[in-house]
Amino acid sequence: MALEKKITYDYEIRSEYKIIQERAKTAIMEDGNEISSKYHRRSLTPDMDVSGENSDIQGMASTLWTDEVKADWFLHQHKYPSGDPSTDWELAQLQKYCDDNSVDYEDGTNLDEDGNAIAANSKSELVEKIEAA
């Protein structure tokens, strides 16, 4: 009776962000027949460093994770584009950037001493505040 541990891998690509899912199957074999197995799954996303991964994963990542896919993934994760903020961004994206980077701004929900709403900062005002921070 000879026992052997056998690990095999399969992959699938998920979503528009080209998430690489790796499934590892660990099987215990007895005289060439599987007597037990279990699965382990992990996901790799376009913002990950795969330089230490096997050549299969590196090849898939270099093919699938184009600059556009990486930019879309960054936007999905952060709710604003990568790079320097500009007036080309949407107001909500600039506000989210300010929130994440502790830049104070007016969003139109604060009141002055008379109870009047304080006007929200415009996109250009937000970019100025970000540049000054």
Residues 72 and 84 in one domain: no
Q: pLDDT category, 1, cuts 50, 70, 90? A: confident
Asked if residues 43 and 20 have their Cβ atoms less than 8 Å apart, the reply is yes
Of the candidates 78, 101, 119, which is a domain's last residue?
Answer: 78
Sign of CA dihedral 83, 85, 89, 92: positive
- As given in the structure block, the two tokens for residue 43 are 């996901």
My answer on whether 56 and 96 are in the same domain is no
**Cα–Cα dist 52/49, whole Å:** 8
- The model carries a pTM of 0.81
Do residues 63 and 10 both lie within one domain? yes
* Domain match, 60 and 115 both: no
pLDDT of residue 14: 97
Average of per-residue pLDDT across 17-24: 98
pLDDT tens digit string along 30-43? 999 999 999 999 99
DSSP state of 116: P
pLDDT above 80 (res 117): yes
The reply to whether 94 and 61 lie within a common domain is no
Report d(CA 87, CA 93) in Å as an integer.
Answer: 10
Co-location of 46 and 107 in the same domain = no
107 and 56, same structural domain? no
Q: How many CB atoms lie within 10 A of CB 41?
A: 10
Q: Please indicate, yes or no, whether residues 45 and 74 belong to a single structural domain of this protein.
A: yes
Last residue of a domain, one of 58, 78, 98: 78
pLDDT of amino acid 78: 97
Residue-range definition of the domain harbouring residue 2: 1-78
Among 27, 31, 39, smallest CA distance to 3 is for: 31
